[in-house]
Amino acid sequence: MTTPERTDQLFLVRHGETEWSRSGRHTSVTDLPLTADGEQVAASLKQRLAAENFDLVLTSPRQRARRTAELAGYPAAEVDDDLVEWDYGDYEGITTAQIRETVPGWTVWDDPVPNGETPAQVAARLDRVNARIAAVDGDVLVFGHSHALRALTARWLELDVTAGRHFVLNTATISVLGWERGSPAVHHWNN
């Protein structure tokens, strides 16, 4: 018996620019608005997504993701709490360079995040998102955050969550995951 090829795609959109994303500050639970530039670029996504049809549209509960979804033409995107950004704990609001002043070589992918999430915790909640997406027959659109979407991508590709380190994700970009001969694949990245 032959299994039909999957043709569904997962579209990922990182939220538009915020003051903290522009300055490289780790932003998880701090609920920042988009900058004026962030709003303008997020609005430009509407035309780029107009030709697509989605059976499910999800967003992180944070206003930066919800506002990006709204400006991109998806004001009714369903909030999924599992799409929040990696919880940076004590590192919230500071840059990697600042963290490395006391923890040389630190990365969110390899090192502890005091009072934040572990890679295993992030993987568990993003695996729930991927399971939800797998239950949908058609294409899905997700609005979220840099590290969380990179981790989601790693899990989609059946990799360890820490492989997300290899998928740099810019603000207000569209990335597309799908299938290649039955295997999960990256179709477009950071467009």
85 has catalytic annotation: yes
26 has catalytic annotation: no
Secondary structure of 100-156 as H, E, C letters:
HCCCCCCCCCCCCCCCCCCHHHHHHHHHHHHHHHHCCCCCEEEEECHHHHHHHHHHH
Marked catalytic residue, from 15, 26, 145, 147: 15
DSSP 29: S
Residue 185: how many other CB atoms lie within 10 Å: 13
- Tell how strand 140-144 and strand 10-14 pair up: parallel
- Structure tokens, 126: 């993003």
16 within 8 A of 34, measured Cβ to Cβ? yes
Alpha-carbon separation of residue 53 from 10, 57, 73, 138, 190 (angstroms): 11, 10, 12, 8, 20
**What residues contact residue 74 under an 8 Å CB cut-off, 6+ apart?**
49, 57, 59, 141, 143
Marked catalytic residue, from 17, 85, 92, 117: 85
- Residues labelled as active-site residues: 15, 85
